[in-house]
């Protein structure tokens, strides 16, 4: 986190919520893709 | 449009999801093959014709990244992400119109040309910004974004397939699928447009870390005149070509290698192998790129190219005698392939600074386009010629694997030739520039 003077401080609760939302926004579809991939990859050992 | 500067209290951890929202979307390009069979049957196309939108898209990716890089640096990441969103989504909408009216040229124009511009601008849009926010961990930051490009295909492949199953594989079903893709990606990418910010010029993203604008700075125009740029061009081209060597023929290769053994590989197991390679490709992007922050860029490319060549050698010599060995070597090679893509922006930043690193990266991506043509050409040509020569099993691939080792050695040498950029290419620091002006004024006076 950045301030004009160049020092760091922990994010405010509002920003923490935004960070969580943003990561979920991209994380959920990615998790779906990885899940589908793992399902397919297991065929190497079971197929 | 001026770049959006972060307000006080803005967290740098908001920038990677902004980048991911764009890369996860444009990574859909690698899932184009899902649309090929329905298009072929619905519009009566050949396999070569149905590949056209993807091929044009990749060509446009290279061209727009190379020629649009300076514009991206000038106008900032929000402008670039907006352009990427508009082009990529409207590409799908034009393709939807093409499918609905059964005008295939509209699909090629929409997805390939217009969408391809979105691919190129979108690919380079967050690179420079991420490096500025994470000067202490540039490899990890760009690794996250570029991992997203690999992840995009993982999401789109099952999602598009399910959509075509629901809507039907006739022209109207394909049109509806394109329409839903265009609208969904527009919404998904808008997060990136809304969230992305550049750090304030006077800021220091970490208390003890470096400032985003410290060190050597070289412009994009000047960078292409340095031997370092062309050494890295060769490094990337060789690394990507070697990765494509496995990727292009992964399924038939594992089947052929073990065809004459007691445990032949089935079609579904070969598909599982291809999926596992995709996972290694993605994991390598974030894993190896982050590791480069610890061991250095030159060392990590020594690993990609040197150990990569060794892995190819192991496959050539012992690949057909041990399935686990073959699989592990292929996975390592693919992880290096992904790592090579993800680490190159940080390598560029080390050599040329953050000043126009996005534009330099865009120009370097022409190496990817070249490898995209070179890799499949070598592998397919060699495989065909070996088949004609009467070879079978693992013998079909011996020559192409040896060529890959040679290419990796060339890349290794190019990496060894990389030295710090000569100061004559640096842009003058503001103070030096001011001093130069003063001297010039004094001389003219």
The answer on pLDDT for A29 being more than 50 is yes
The answer on pLDDT for A2 being more than 70 is no
Nearest by CB: B272 against A11, A30, A40 = A40
Nearest by CB: A23 against B17, B151, B159 = B17
What is the least distance, in Å, from the CA of A8 to any CA of chain B?
6
B273: which chain A residues are within 8 Å (Cβ-Cβ)?
44
Report the C-alpha gap between B216 and B48 in whole angstroms: 46
Question: Which comes out higher in pLDDT, residue B175 or A11?
Answer: B175
Report the C-alpha gap between B90 and B322 in whole angstroms: 49
Q: Which of A27, A29, A45 to mutate to test the interface with B (most CBs of B within 10 A)?
A: A29
Single out the residue of B110, B143, B51 nearest to residue B341, CA to CA: B143
B5 DSSP assignment: B
Single out the residue of B329, B373, B46, B69 nearest to residue B241, CA to CA: B373
Give the pLDDT confidence score for residue B439 in this predicted structure.
44
B207 DSSP assignment: S
Q: Is B296 left (phi over 0), alpha (psi -120 to 50) or beta?
A: left
pLDDT (mean) for B302-322: 92
What is the least distance, in Å, from the CA of B281 to any CA of chain A?
12
Single out the residue of A3, A34, A10, A30 nearest to residue B204, CA to CA: A3
If you count residue pairs, one on A and one on B, with CB atoms under 8 Å apart, how many are there?
121
pLDDT digits (tens, 9 = 90+) for B122-156: 999 999 899 999 999 999 999 999 999 988 988 99
A31/B contact by beta carbon, under 8 A? no
A32: which chain B residues are within 8 Å (Cβ-Cβ)?
155, 158-159
Mean pLDDT across chain A: 79
Q: How confident is the model at residue B211 (pLDDT cuts 50, 70, 90)?
A: low
Give the pLDDT confidence score for residue B214 in this predicted structure.
65
Report the C-alpha gap between B132 and B215 in whole angstroms: 12
Beta-ladder partners of B198: B5
The answer on pLDDT for B228 being more than 60 is yes
Mean pLDDT across chain B: 89
Asked whether the beta carbons of B81 and B209 are under 8 A apart, the reply is no
pLDDT digits (tens, 9 = 90+) for B318-366: 877 888 899 999 999 999 999 999 999 999 999 999 888 999 999 999 9
Report the C-alpha gap between A15 and B10 in whole angstroms: 8
Question: Which comes out higher in pLDDT, residue B165 or B439?
Answer: B165
A18/B contact by beta carbon, under 8 A? yes
Provide the 10 A C-beta neighbour count for residue B324. 7
- Chain centre to alpha carbon of residue B7: 31
Q: How confident is the model at residue B209 (pLDDT cuts 50, 70, 90)?
A: low
Least confident of B109-118, B258-267, B276-285, B414-423: B258-267
pLDDT (mean) for B234-239: 96
ipTM value of the model? 0.84
B108 DSSP assignment: I
Domains of chain B, start order: 12-195 (1.20.1250.20), 220-420 (1.20.1250.20)
Q: Whole-angstrom distance between the N-terminal and C-terminal Cα of chain A?
A: 49
- Chain centre to alpha carbon of residue B402: 25
Q: Whole-angstrom distance between the N-terminal and C-terminal Cα of chain B?
A: 39
pLDDT (mean) for A22-39: 94
Give the pLDDT confidence score for residue B272 in this predicted structure.
85
Site of tokens 């601008």: B121
Within 13 A of B52's CA, how many CA atoms are on the CB side?
Answer: 16
Report the C-alpha gap between B18 and B259 in whole angstroms: 46
Report the C-alpha gap between A16 and B13 in whole angstroms: 10
Report the C-alpha gap between B217 and B20 in whole angstroms: 27
Give the pLDDT confidence score for residue B205 in this predicted structure.
67
Give the pLDDT confidence score for residue B213 in this predicted structure.
57
Give the pLDDT confidence score for residue B348 in this predicted structure.
95
- Compare all CA atoms of chain A with the CA of B203 and give the residue at the minimum distance: A6
Q: How confident is the model at residue A27 (pLDDT cuts 50, 70, 90)?
A: very high
Sign of the C-alpha dihedral, residues B64, B156, B146, B137?
positive
pLDDT digits (tens, 9 = 90+) for B35-77: 989 999 999 998 878 888 988 898 899 899 989 988 998 999 9
Provide the 10 A C-beta neighbour count for residue B116. 28
Put simply, the answer to whether B272 touches A34 (Cβ < 8 Å) is no
Single out the residue of B174, B160, B177, B163 nearest to residue B40, CA to CA: B174
- Compare all CA atoms of chain B with the CA of A9 and give the residue at the minimum distance: B9
Report the C-alpha gap between A28 and B107 in whole angstroms: 30
Provide the 10 A C-beta neighbour count for residue B393. 15
Give the pLDDT confidence score for residue B216 in this predicted structure.
83
Give the pLDDT confidence score for residue B246 in this predicted structure.
79
Q: Is B115 left (phi over 0), alpha (psi -120 to 50) or beta?
A: alpha
Q: How confident is the model at residue B442 (pLDDT cuts 50, 70, 90)?
A: very low
């Amino acid at each position: 986190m950045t301030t004009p003077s160049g020092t760091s401080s922990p994010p405010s609760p509002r920003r923490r919520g935004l960070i969580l939302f943003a990561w979920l926004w991209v994380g959920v579809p990615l998790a779906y893709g990885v899940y589908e991939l793992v399902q397919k990859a297991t065929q190497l050992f079971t197929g | 449009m001026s770049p959006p500067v972060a307000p006080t209290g803005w967290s740098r951890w908001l920038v990677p999801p902004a980048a991911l929202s764009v890369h996860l979307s444009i990574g859909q390009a690698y899932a184009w093959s899902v649309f090929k069979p329905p298009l072929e049957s619905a519009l009566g196309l050949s396999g070569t014709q149905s590949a056209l939108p993807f091929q044009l898209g990749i060509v446009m990716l290279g061209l727009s990244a190379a020629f649009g890089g300076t514009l991206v640096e000038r106008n900032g990441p929000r402008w670039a992400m907006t352009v990427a969103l508009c082009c990529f989504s409207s590409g799908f909408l034009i393709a939807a119109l093409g499918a609905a009216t059964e005008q295939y040229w509209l699909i090629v124009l929409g997805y390939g040309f217009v969408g391809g511009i979105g691919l190129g601008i979108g690919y380079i849009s967050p690179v420079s910004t991420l490096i500025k926010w994470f000067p202490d961990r540039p490899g990890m930051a760009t690794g996250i974004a570029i991992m997203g490009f690999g992840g995009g295909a993982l999401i789109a492949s099952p999602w598009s397939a399910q959509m075509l199953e629901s809507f039907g594989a006739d022209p109207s079903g394909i049109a509806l699928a394109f329409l839903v893709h265009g609208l969904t990606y527009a919404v998904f990418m808008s997060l990136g447009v809304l969230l992305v910010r550049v750090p304030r010029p006077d800021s220091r993203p970490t208390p003890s870390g470096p400032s985003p604008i410290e060190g050597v700075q070289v412009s994009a125009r000047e960078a292409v005149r340095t031997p370092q740029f062309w050494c890295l061009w060769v490094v990337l081209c060789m690394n990507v070509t070697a990765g494509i060597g496995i990727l292009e023929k992964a399924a038939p290769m594992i089947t052929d290698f073990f065809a004459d053994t007691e445990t032949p590989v089935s079609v579904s197991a070969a598909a599982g192998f291809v999926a596992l390679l995709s996972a290694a490709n993605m994991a390598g992007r974030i894993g190896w790129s982050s590791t480069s922050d610890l061991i250095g860029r030159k060392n990590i490319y020594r690993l990609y190219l040197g150990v990569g060549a060794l892995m190819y050698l192991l496959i050539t010599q012992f690949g057909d005698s041990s399935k686990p060995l073959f699989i592990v070597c292929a996975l390592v090679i693919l992880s290096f392939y992904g790592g090579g893509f993800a680490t190159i922006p940080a390598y560029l930043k080390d050599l040329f600074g953050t000043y126009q690193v996005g534009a330099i990266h865009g120009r370097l991506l022409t190496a990817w386009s070249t490898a995209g043509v070179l890799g499949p050409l070598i592998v397919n040509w060699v495989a065909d010629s070996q088949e004609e020569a009467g070879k079978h099993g693992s013998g079909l691939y011996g020559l192409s694997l040896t060529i890959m080792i040679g290419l990796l050695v060339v890349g290794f040498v190019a990496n060894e030739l990389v030295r710090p950029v000569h100061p004559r290419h640096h842009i003058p620091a503001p103070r030096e520039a001011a001093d130069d002006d003063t001297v010039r004024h004094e001389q003219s006076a």
